[in-house]
Amino acid sequence: MADSPLVLGIDSSTQSTKAVLVDASDGSIVEQRSAAHPPGTSVDPRAWIAALDEAAGPLLDRAAAVSVGGQQHGAVVLDQAGDPVREALLWNDLRSADAADDLVEELGGPQASADLTGSVLLGSYTVTKLRWIRDHEPDSAERVHRVLLPHDYLTWHLAGRTEDPTTDRGDASGTGYFSTRDDGWLPDVLERALGRSALLPRIAEPAEIVAQRNDQHGGLVIGPGTGDNMAAALGLGLRDGDVAVSIGTSGVASAVTSEPIADGSGQVSGFADATGRFLPLACTINAARILEVGARLLDVDHAGLADLALQSVPGAHGLTLLPYLDGERTPNRPDAAGTLHGLTSATTRADLARAHVEGLLFSLADAVEALSLAAGREPERLLLIGGAARNPAVRALAPLVFGVPVVLPEPAEYVALGAARQAAWVLAGTAGPPDWPVSTTDLPTGQTVADLRQDYSVLRDLTASWKTRKATS
Cα–chain-centroid distance for residue 211? 26
Residue 31 in contact with residue 44, Cβ under 8 Å?
A: no
Q: Coil, helix or strand for 342?
A: coil
Distance CA 48, CA 44 (A): 8
Distance CA 405, CA 383 (A): 9
* Residue 319 CA: distances (Å) to CA of 28, 307, 348, 368: 44, 17, 10, 23
The packing angle between helices 302-311 and 288-298, to 10°, is: 80
Cα–chain-centroid distance for residue 192? 26
Q: Coil, helix or strand for 463?
A: coil
Q: Cα dihedral sign for 320, 323, 325, 328?
A: negative
Question: Among residues 11, 171, 228, 455, which one is catalytic?
Answer: 228
Residue 81: which residues within 8 A CB-CB, separation 6 or more? Answer: none
Burial of residue 141 (number of CB atoms within 10 Å: 0-12, 13-18, 19+): buried
Distance CA 255, CA 437 (A): 19
Decide if 228 is catalytic. Answer: yes
- 235 φψ region: left (φ > 0), alpha (ψ -120 to 50), beta (else): alpha
Catalytic residue annotation:
228
